[in-house]
Chains A and B, each alone.
Chain A
């Protein structure tokens, strides 16, 4: 079956890949926090954040094209929300869009808010893409566990990672079976078949979940997840963490 990856570049070897997952989670989490807490008017600060992030991308040896592509895949969702903001905020009207018989006034505060949403969302998205693609997913999960993220949450994500593609393969098999038996184009019938497929897929996942749980019990599972980790924070990890944090603080408080 198809061998898909969520974390295509996570097995590269670069300065960023070699850092302890916990240090990376810390850095990227604080990065996002700083970005979110910076007022939208500080254009210079956002420029510097972007440069810092671009530097990290270069250090990661991941093709920048890949990061751009991935990040733009996520942006439409953000755009859906941001697109309405300029019209919704009261304030000084900059210009008006005439859409048939409706006049849509665009305000200055509205535009600023839109910029605010877009730039913060974009930088945060690039941060997460970089984190996922510089860390092996299994290590990332273990790091979250060590950082005391609730075990149940970690387990849910872990199962999602393990079974996402198993379910996708299952769906593909069902699709193939459907295609080999239905060859007439009938819109209504197709929708009905689709609904059935969703139902079947749900039942199969549910049954699989039961077997998996039984398999876990067979190997002594009693409700607590135990995993073994070989993570060790080195001096370099601490330097990396400190360096990025100092840069973030400088950008944020140097006045812009």
Chain B
């Protein structure tokens, strides 16, 4: 069996105010896999993601591509785990797009030409090369999201970690993001509430609730399990509902027509 690229064992985290955000998480991710991390608000998803590159650490062990996440390995870990925050205004903090995308590679100690190449290829990947010299403040939300991803892609990470990548995106930009992520051949861990997005992009799903992984498995087996999902504040995505087409048909026949007629 191939070794897991991410291995979490009994990870616990209690915030200073006493909230137990993580209560013993065990999770493993295989190389090249796309894992969807779902769960209700406040389940601990963001806290868990911050453990993957050693920003938070209290109890338990986190292994990333064979390295124990800890003080000594932080530079190596952080260049391998690219974490993209939900708020692009937090992810993009430099005066220009170029400086933002170059921030990671420069901190990795790359040479000038290598940094420039990395920036250009990362921006090309997200189709935002023309925006290189612009200031992030003057970009649209969708553009900011794409550049946020470029800021970690430029570090050539082995694992891409995304926190709510589709939130606030319009359908067109959401579609663009799905296409972009599908084409990226690296390991991805994605925390999201967008279950349709999970259906399209993930190979496996884990449900996190009250700081623990309550269930994990293939997308189809988890996301079509109505009782399981509903007991954790989630619901079966529309595309997986057995009665989905029946619903639309019913609407079309019985409720839409009378309304139109009554307007006439």
Q: Which residues of A contact B (CB under 8 A)?
A: 3, 137-138, 141, 158-159, 161-163, 165-166, 208, 211-212, 214-222, 226-228
Contacts and interface: CB of A to CB of B under 8 A. Distances in A.
Contacts, number: 84
A138 B135 contact: yes
A166 B95 contact: no
B105 to A, nearest CB: 9
Given A161-B95, A220-B75, A228 B87 contact: no
Contacts of B115: 228
A217 to B, nearest CB: 6
Most chain-A CB neighbours within 10 Å: which of B78, B87, B91, B137?
Answer: B137
Contacts of A165: 137
B94 A162 contact: yes
A74 to B, nearest CB: 23
Interface in B92-151: 92-96, 98-99, 102-104, 106-108, 112, 115-116, 135-138, 151
Contact of A228 (B85, B104, B106, B138): B106
Interface residues of B, number: 35
Most chain-A CB neighbours within 10 Å: which of B50, B78, B90, B102?
Answer: B90
Nearest to A138: B95
B67 to A, nearest CB: 15
B53 interface: yes
A222 B107 contact: yes
Contact of B55 (A137, A162, A214): A214
B121 to A, nearest CB: 15
B78 A219 contact: yes
Given A137-B95, A212-B93, A220 B135 contact: no
B83 interface: yes
B132 to A, nearest CB: 11
A220 B78 contact: yes
A9 to B, nearest CB: 15
Given A3-B137, A218-B55, A220-B75, A159 B112 contact: no
Nearest to A137: B95
A227 B108 contact: no
B55 A217 contact: yes
A61 B152 CA distance: 39
16 contacts: A3-B138, A138-B95, A138-B99, A138-B135, A158-B95, A162-B92, A208-B87, A208-B90, A215-B90, A215-B91, A219-B103, A219-B104, A219-B151, A220-B79, A220-B108, A228-B116
Contacts of B55: 214, 217-218
Given A3-B137, A219-B151, A227 B90 contact: no
Nearest to A157: B95
A151 to B, nearest CB: 13
A171 B236 CA distance: 38
B102 A212 contact: no
A212 B102 CA distance: 16
Contact of A215 (B85, B98, B107): B85
